[in-house]
Amino acid sequence: MKRKDDLMLQKVGGQALLIPLGAKVLDMNGMVVLNTTASFIWELLAEDCSIEELVRAVADRFEVDADLAGADVRTFVDDLYRQGWIEI
């Protein structure tokens, strides 16, 4: 899966935000706040990644076990998919 190119990650004063680009402004009507883990995953999704690769990267980066990382990754990826912000 890979993120679509009509959202841009902006970091302002340590706060990570997803900003809609182009016609996406009409669908989103605002910005989306990302926490640290979500922001990390979003950056990974610039390249095509599998769930397993994301889980491994999150577990390594935040030094958590794979079960916890897997739950976080699946929650976020489900959210992204529902919103239509990634392509699989």
Kindly state the smallest distance separating residue 8's Cβ from another protein, in Å: 4
The interface with another protein within residues 15-74 (CB under 8 A) comprises 15, 17-19, 21-23, 25-26, 29-35, 37-38, 41, 72
φ, ψ at 33 (rounded to 5°) = -90, 130
Residue 75 is a binding residue for another protein (CB under 8 A) = yes
d(CA 61, CA 54): 10
Residue 84 is a binding residue for another protein (CB under 8 A) = no
Count, residues near another protein per rule CB under 8 A: 28
DSSP sequence for 9-77: EEEETTEEEEEE-TTHHHHH-S-EEE-HHHHHHHHHTTS---HHHHHHHHHHHHT--HHHHHHHHHHHH
| Cβ distance to another protein smaller for residue 27 or 60 | 27
Q: Which residues bind another protein (CB under 8 A)?
A: 8, 10, 12-15, 17-19, 21-23, 25-26, 29-35, 37-38, 41, 72, 75-76, 79
